[in-house]
Amino acid sequence: MKRILVTGGAGFIGANFVRYLIEHSDAGITVLDALTYAGNLQSLHGLDRSRLHVVVGDITDAPLVDGLVADADAVVHFAAESHNDNSLFDPRPFLDTNVVGTYTLLEAVRRHEVRFHHISTDEVYGDLELDDPARFTETTPYNPSSPYSSTKAASDMLVRAWGRSFGVRATISNCSNNYGPYQHVEKFIPRQITNILHGVRPKLYGTGANVRDWIHVEDHSSAVWEIVNRGTPGKTYLIGADGEKNNREVLELILGLMGQDAAAFDHVTDRPGHDLRYGIDSTMLREELGWSPAHRDLAAGLAQTIDWYRQNPWWWEGAKAGTEDRYVQQAAARGTEDAGTAGGGA
């Protein structure tokens, strides 16, 4: 493939994917990113600009999208509003970007007959009981819980319909929770690491029994690249690395790795509608495309991630105080005052 259009390439996973492509392919890359609060061009620092072209713009801008898609051999679509807590506070941007934005891209790839890969989430399947032996598979019925996950589910349905009705050559991947460098400080792992670096006690929602299935972002990138190259249009692939752990265990690991007491955190009011457990069965991807994750040790991956945040405060410090202020505002709007750290702490 000569030119890949990566939407959301200045976000956490998109930027890591661009870095992966620079290293593991010879494709030219065009990034289309609106640089919302979650986008950061610094996440692409140091990359070979002869292979990377960045366009600042919105995926709902149909004429802009049409021109960029016309020049691409494939589109890999990461751009989204991605944070559940924000979707509970103000759902509208989630509908605009995740639903209308995906529709806008689908119409363009349909017109220009360009291969499309849609990045989605395991959250479309709802949640599992803690003791359920089952995990999500490609045939699990959709049952999203939050405004965020329902807009991702809607976008998946659009992709399937554009494949069946208009012959768009599209694949979908639904991945579990990613961690690694360049993740916004609003998300669980970087929020707690940067709180500890600021001398602020981490915040655990509810009891912390909720389980997430963690995958290193590099493994997500390698899986997506396999699917883009060798996946079967019309198919959905689940991406996961058998990394289930509850939030309390993850937080205790982080505290231990950062030399803190395992109990040095605060329980705060739970997220409304908080999904209990996600778990991915990625057998199909592994058997059909021979993919497997390179990072299998969460403690080692967390140690590397902690080190990255320690070494790169220039990348995250600018977003920290505003993010914590947003948590305070969201808690106040719900009448629960304990979820944020006003002013980012210090």
Q: How far is the CB of 117 from ligand TDX (least distance, A)?
A: 16
- 145 is a site residue for ligand NAD (CB under 6 A): no
| Residue 97 binding: pick among ligand NAD, ligand TDX, none (C-beta 5-8 Å cut-off by kind) | ligand NAD
Q: Between 28 and 202, whose beta carbon lies closer to ligand TDX?
A: 202
Stretch that binds ligand NAD, among 32-40, 191-199, 230-238, 282-290 (CB under 6 A): 32-40
Phi, psi of 2 (to 5 degrees): -85, -45
Binding mask 209-228 for ligand TDX (x = CB under 6 A): -x-x----------------
Q: Are 180 and 17 in contact (CB under 8 A)?
A: no
| Residue 210 binding: pick among ligand NAD, ligand TDX, none (C-beta 5-8 Å cut-off by kind) | ligand TDX
Quote the tokens at residue 152.
Answer: 């991702």
Stretch that binds ligand TDX, among 81-89, 160-168, 236-244, 313-321 (CB under 6 A): 81-89
| Residue 108 binding: pick among ligand TDX, ligand NAD, none (C-beta 5-8 Å cut-off by kind) | none
Residues in 240-269 at the binding interface with ligand TDX, rule: CB under 6 A: 247
Q: How far is CA 164 from the centre of its chain?
A: 26
- 237 is a site residue for ligand TDX (CB under 6 A): no
The three state secondary structure string of the chain is CCEEEEECCCCHHHHHHHHHHHHHCCCEEEEEECCCCCCCHHHHCCCCCCCEEEEECCCCCHHHHHHHHHCCCEEEECCCCCCHHHHHHCCHHHHHHHHHHHHHHHHHHHHHCCEEEEEEEHHHHCCCCCCCCCCECCCCCCCCCCHHHHHHHHHHHHHHHHHHHHCCCEEEEEECCEECCCCCCCCHHHHHHHHHHCCCCCEEECCCCCEEECEEHHHHHHHHHHHHHHCCCCCEEEECCCCEEEHHHHHHHHHHHCCCCCCCCEEECCCCCCCCECCECCHHHHHHHCCCCCCCCHHHHHHHHHHHHHHCHHHHHHHHHHHHHHHHHHHHHHCCCCCCCHHHCC
- 154 is a site residue for ligand NAD (CB under 6 A): no
- 152 is a site residue for ligand NAD (CB under 6 A): yes
| Residue 169 binding: pick among ligand NAD, ligand TDX, none (C-beta 5-8 Å cut-off by kind) | none
Question: Among residues 33, 85, 122, 252, which one is catalytic?
Answer: 122
| Catalytic (active site) residue 127 | no
Q: How many angstroms separate the CA atoms of 19 and 180, rounded?
A: 13
| Catalytic (active site) residue 123 | yes
| Catalytic (active site) residue 122 | yes
| Residue 188 binding: pick among ligand NAD, ligand TDX, none (C-beta 5-8 Å cut-off by kind) | ligand TDX
From the list 40, 82, 150, 222, which residue makes contact with ligand TDX (rule: CB under 6 A)? 82
Q: Are strands 74-77 and 3-7 parallel, antiparallel or unpaired?
A: parallel
Question: Among residues 33, 81, 85, 123, which one is catalytic?
Answer: 123
Q: Are 328 and 341 in contact (CB under 8 A)?
A: yes
Stretch that binds ligand TDX, among 103-111, 187-195, 254-262, 330-338 (CB under 6 A): 187-195
Q: How many angstroms separate the CA atoms of 60 and 144, rounded?
A: 23
Question: Among residues 33, 58, 125, 148, which one is catalytic?
Answer: 148
Size of the site for ligand NAD (CB under 6 A): 30
Stretch that binds ligand NAD, among 66-74, 170-178, 222-230, 298-306 (CB under 6 A): 170-178
**What is the set of active-site residues?**
122-123, 148
Footprint of ligand TDX on this chain (CB under 6 A)?
Answer: 82-84, 121, 123, 177, 187-188, 191, 203-205, 210, 212, 247, 271
Footprint of ligand NAD on this chain (CB under 6 A)?
Answer: 7-8, 10-14, 33-36, 38-39, 58-60, 78-82, 97, 101, 119, 121, 152, 175, 177-178, 184
